[in-house]
Structure 1
Amino acid sequence: MVIPLVANQYIDGEGWSPGDFVAAGIMLFGAGLTFVLIARMGNNTMYRLGAGLGVAAGLLLVWANGAVGLVGSEDNPVNLLYVAVLAVALIGAFVARFRPLGMSNAMFAASLTYVLVTVVALFIWKPTGAAAEPQVGLVNVLGANGMFAAIWAVSGLLFRRASAIGSTSGRRLA
């Protein structure tokens, strides 16, 4: 957050409002706290790496969607569909009770949901009127969203590896 703070001082047109700094701080603190709570549930490095990557994927999804939008601009209502990805990951993690194999399945489901939401956003639900954005670059959107979906999938692979190693989880969050 230091970079935008310095940019605000020296670059014209670069303007984060105080609310932007508060929102960024809340997102970063929330992501850090979430990682610490989830990482404590497993006892091996693969589990912790999977947790870190999953939390990072969620943080990046929220940040990118809020800043510039994942399909078109941040004002495009189709971007709200990406909330489903976070919902699948969170609900899946709680249903799995944070056990490695279940977490793996939840992260793979989030990755699949990400791909499906992108397909719906690009090819099925096309906003009309002021929200229509004909300049959305298909290759750029597919590449960026494919990268985000891959992050969720790699997190799932790390959790799968943690389950093969034999992570003992099941400790309480607090």
Structure 2
Amino acid sequence: MTQTQSDPPARRGNAFRPYLWGGAALLLSVPLIAMQFTDEVDWDLFDFIVMGLLLGGACGAYELGTRLSGHWAYRGGFAVAILGGFLMTWVNLAVGIVGNENNPVNLLFFAILVVGAIAAPLGRFRARGMARAMYATAIAQGLVTAYIAIAGHGYTFVLAGFFIAVWLCAAHLFLRADEDAARAGAGD
């Protein structure tokens, strides 16, 4: 079957798929290997299940992003957003961002991720909508940071700045994808 003018452009497959899933498997195996050589790493089955779910969810979400658009900036924005969400969740579950992992204030960081997870489908996963979702996530990060600072929980602004920069970087990449699509539609 040949592609006609009314058919959507063919999307390129995800060339990074083997590296993505292979890297996730390698990352999951690191604690298992480390446990053979040191007592400092002590994971149980639950730890491996949680990390496996986190890695699988992150890789699966990136797969979704590659299916939604073949544009490099869109895929890059998706990758940056997923990586940021993964890192925030990992740190929060492992040691906690504020105090330790049992501090209830840490639940606010999951709320930040929920903002992005709700805003992305509201924007129909289109580049401009995804940029808005990332701006909303950055604002949520700033509001949580302000609350924690006012409440005196001892949260580091360096870490907050890092995550705000992650969300803004993803937003910038999504906007780039939107601008390139607009230029292509205008015939430039």
Superposition map of 1:14-25 within 5 A: 14-25=41-52
The answer to whether the Cα contact below 8 Å between 1:78 and 1:125 also exists between their aligned partners in 2 is no
Q: Which residue of 2 aligns with 1:67?
A: 94
Give ranges in structure 2 of 5+ residues lacking alignment: 1-27, 183-188
Q: Residue type of the partner of 2:83?
A: A
Q: Which residue of 1 aligns with 2:116?
A: 89
CA RMSD of aligned residues (A): 1.5
When Rg is computed on C-alpha atoms for both structures, the one with the higher figure is 2
Shift of 1:156: 0.5
Distance 2:138 2:66 in 1: 20
Distance 1:122 1:166 in 2: 40
Q: Which residue of 2 aligns with 1:27?
A: 54
Q: Residue type of the partner of 1:148?
A: F
Query: Percent identity over the alignment?
Result: 37
Superposition map of 1:1-174 within 5 A: 1-124=28-151, 126=153, 136=154, 141-166=156-181
Q: Which has the higher contact order (CA 8 A, sep 6+)?
A: 1
The answer to whether the Cα contact below 8 Å between 1:66 and 1:74 also exists between their aligned partners in 2 is yes
Name the count of aligned residue pairs: 155
With normalisation by structure 1, the TM-score equals: 0.84
Shift of 1:125: 6.8
Give ranges in structure 1 of 5+ residues lacking alignment: 127-135, 168-174
